[in-house]
Amino acid sequence: MSFSFGFSGSDYNDEIEYDANVENISSLNKYTDNGTNNIQSNFINPLDSDHLLKDPVVQAQIENYQQFLESLKDVRLTFEKIYTPETKTELFRRELFDIKHQLMTEYDTNSGENDANNLKLDILINEDLKKNVYEGGLKSWECSIDVVDSFAKKNHDQTLLPNLNFNKIKYIVELGCGTSLPTEYIFMQYLLQTNDSFATPSNHGIHFILADYNSSVLRLASLPNLIITWAMLTLSKDQWTDLQRCNDPNIPILDDELLLTNKLLDTFYNDMERRNVKISLISGSWGRKFNQLLYTLIDVNSNEEILLITSETIYQPENLPLISETLIDVHEKFLNQNHILVAAKDIYFGVGGSILDFQKYLIDRNINFVTFKINAGLKRSIVYI
């Protein structure tokens, strides 16, 4: 199929003000090593670190997509329409307060007075980040929006991500996906360009692989955002009403709410199969186990290309080797088949991570890359491997 990445559509994080401008995103800095690898020959890959297999680290696992859908049955989603700052691209996102309300309702029903569960609920609702507990996935962070804008602008400026051809991409992998807005954008384009007669044997389809440390983020934010997007883009007004009411005229129908009836979820599931869309979900920590699980979802014998996206994941210096080696492992396993985008702030004040540290790590590992600078009040970048 053919993507035309120019879909046009204000704030993204409830606590963040944007000063984003991607006018100078095409200014390039290319880094290559002269052949000297600064990492010693006795280097032990961080993916194989023993501590990744011990408590309190959450172990990676492939979540049951159908069970996640079933868990959302009869949930009424409240969502908002948002626009990216540069290209004004339209996206849909479940409201943060609505996610928190569902979390509290479920914990009240299932957890009782369990102190550990109460602590986890408190962290999910009240904190942005907590090491080994919650990695901030319920909010939308600036750099994921930069990725969406770069995709939207690529249709008009082929110097952006010059080696990336969306026509050839089979697998979309988003690590630390959170609200999964970059994936949502690609999903949106796919839906807009597929129609009732699209599902033919010649269509290789598309496979979205969403990964986040917290399974609750995947279930309550990432997946619902895709369902909302599908409903907003593909359902007629009558379908929007009928699939929610299910012959009950007393069910209220609102423009910014979506009731996930069994009929609506079945329609979504069947339409994904008809359009040859596959959705996979991985929760837990990065590490060797994570990558091995990821590779079970990708046909390693095919020549189909992979786009891997990750945003705001290099902020902790102590985790930089782990996320870097996660990406490098994918890059080396699928050489000439992969495109990797890492979006991040140039400096994470108060935390210590930086784009320069990430670039240096790649240089030391003899990995070539290009950096696109985002022209914003708080400097940000997209590194293309």
Residue 10: pLDDT over 60: no
For residue 245, name the pLDDT band (cuts at 50, 70, 90). Answer: very high
Residue that has been written with the tokens 């509290």 in this structure? 104
Q: What residues does 276 pair with on adjacent strands?
A: none
Q: What is the pLDDT at residue 12?
A: 39
d(CA 215, CA 62): 10
Q: Which residues contact 131 (CB under 8 A, 6 or more apart)?
A: none
d(CA 136, CA 273): 31
Over range 222-242, report the average pLDDT: 98
Q: What is the pLDDT at residue 130?
A: 53
> Are 229 and 268 spatial neighbours (Cβ–Cβ below 8 Å)?
no
> Are 373 and 359 spatial neighbours (Cβ–Cβ below 8 Å)?
no
For the ranges 7-11, 26-30, 167-171, the maximum mean pLDDT occurs at 167-171
d(CA 218, CA 220): 6
Q: What residues does 278 pair with on adjacent strands?
A: 207
> Are 107 and 121 spatial neighbours (Cβ–Cβ below 8 Å)?
yes
Q: Which residues contact 12 (CB under 8 A, 6 or more apart)?
A: 18, 82, 93, 140, 141, 142, 144, 145, 181
| Strand-pair category, 20-21 with 369-376 | antiparallel
> Are 121 and 103 spatial neighbours (Cβ–Cβ below 8 Å)?
yes
Strands (DSSP E) found in the chain: 20-21, 28-31, 61-62, 76-83, 90-94, 169-175, 206-212, 257-259, 277-283, 305-311, 338-345, 369-376, 380-384
Distances (CA, A) of 58 to 139, 213, 330: 20, 7, 21
What sign does the CA torsion over 125, 126, 128, 134 have?
negative
Q: What is the pLDDT at residue 259?
A: 98
Q: What residues does 7 pair with on adjacent strands?
A: none
Q: What are phi and psi of 228, to 5 degrees?
A: -60, -45
Q: What is the pLDDT at residue 62?
A: 98
The helix/strand/coil state of 193 is: coil
The CA-CA-CA angle for residues 347, 353, 359, to 5°, reads 85
- 344: closest CA among 147, 140, 91? 147
Residue 25: pLDDT over 50: no
- CATH architecture of residue range(s) 20-384: 3-Layer(aba) Sandwich (3.40)
Residue 2: pLDDT over 60: no
d(CA 235, CA 172): 24
Over range 8-29, report the average pLDDT: 37
d(CA 180, CA 166): 18
Residue 7: pLDDT over 50: no
Question: What residue segments make up the domains of the chain, in order of their start?
Answer: 20-384
The helix/strand/coil state of 259 is: strand
For the ranges 77-81, 101-105, 161-165, the maximum mean pLDDT occurs at 77-81
Over range 172-193, report the average pLDDT: 95
Over range 312-324, report the average pLDDT: 93
d(CA 201, CA 207): 16
> Are 225 and 182 spatial neighbours (Cβ–Cβ below 8 Å)?
no
Q: How many CB atoms lie within 10 A of CB 193?
A: 12
Q: What is the pLDDT at residue 38?
A: 53
> Which tops the pLDDT comparison, 118 or 362?
362
254-309 pLDDT, tens digit per residue, is: 999 999 999 999 999 999 999 999 999 999 999 999 999 999 999 988 888 999 99
Tokens representing 365 are 């590992």
For residue 125, name the pLDDT band (cuts at 50, 70, 90). Answer: low
Q: What is the pLDDT at residue 40?
A: 54
For residue 319, name the pLDDT band (cuts at 50, 70, 90). Answer: very high
> Which tops the pLDDT comparison, 136 or 59?
59
